[in-house]
Amino acid sequence: MRTKVLKIVPLVTLLLAFISGFSGFFLLKEKVSGKAYKAAFTAMDSYRSRHPEEHQRFLAVVDYSKPSYLKRMVIIDLKSGDQSFFWASHGINSGELYANQFSNAPESNMSSLGLYKTLETYFGDHGIAIRLEGLDPIMNSNALFRDIVLHSADYVSLKYILLNLATFNSPMIGRSNGCFVVSPRDIDEIEQKLNQGAFLYAWREPP
């Protein structure tokens, strides 16, 4: 038994080293599609046309057509045009590596698509979190009732992706109960940009 363990451990170590060497390649791939950008700006402009008094500076776009190992959330500074990319989870019942199913229903444990507005920041079970108001009457109007928020968790990390690969699972980050979950390393930067009044748009290419 000991000999088998000694053989397995080096194999896992080599696998992790191999994957780490190629992780940069994965992260350099396209993260948010042009279609997702276009849909997000269309939804935001439509909302702003009805609410000209609002002047949000930041727009976050989550492209759920991308696999979860990619940093598929971009935060755009609408004044400077600067962009920053981050990992973002999807709901456990929305899919595994990809998010394929979405719901606005309570207790569905699925992600919801559409345009959101960020509200106040608070400290919850996962530390810093941002409340979200769903602005789409069909796709995400129950966000507040479902307690769909943006928060961080340890399962959104490169370490978790490598662990899944080392145990012969798909290279996915962890999944949530429907919340937008980001890396603990990124939550401070994300909170500073999105607190109170930014937009967040979740998109998936229609089947």
Is residue 45 domain-resident?
yes
CATH number (domain holding residue 151): 2.40.440.10
Counting the structural domains of the chain, the total is: 1
Is residue 106 domain-resident?
yes
Is residue 10 domain-resident?
no
d(CA 148, CA 166): 31
Looking at residue 2, its pLDDT comes to 42
- The arithmetic mean of pLDDT across residues 12-23, rounded, is 49
Is residue 3 domain-resident?
no
Tens-place pLDDT, residues 44-81 = 999 999 999 998 999 999 999 999 999 999 999 999 99
Q: Which of 15-29, 32-46, 118-132 has the lowest mean pLDDT?
A: 15-29
Is residue 62 domain-resident?
yes
Residue-range definition of the domain harbouring residue 84: 30-203
Is residue 121 domain-resident?
yes
Is residue 136 domain-resident?
yes
Q: Is the pLDDT at 198 greater than 90, yes or no?
A: yes
Tens-place pLDDT, residues 122-175 = 998 889 999 999 999 999 999 999 999 999 999 999 999 999 888 888 889 999
Looking at residue 61, its pLDDT comes to 98
Looking at residue 126, its pLDDT comes to 87
Nearest-CA neighbor of 134 among 152, 147, 121, 151?
Answer: 147
The sign of the torsion formed by the CA atoms of 103, 105, 107, 112 equals positive
Q: Is the pLDDT at 116 greater than 70, yes or no?
A: yes
Q: In the chain, pLDDT over 70 holds for what percent of residues?
A: 86
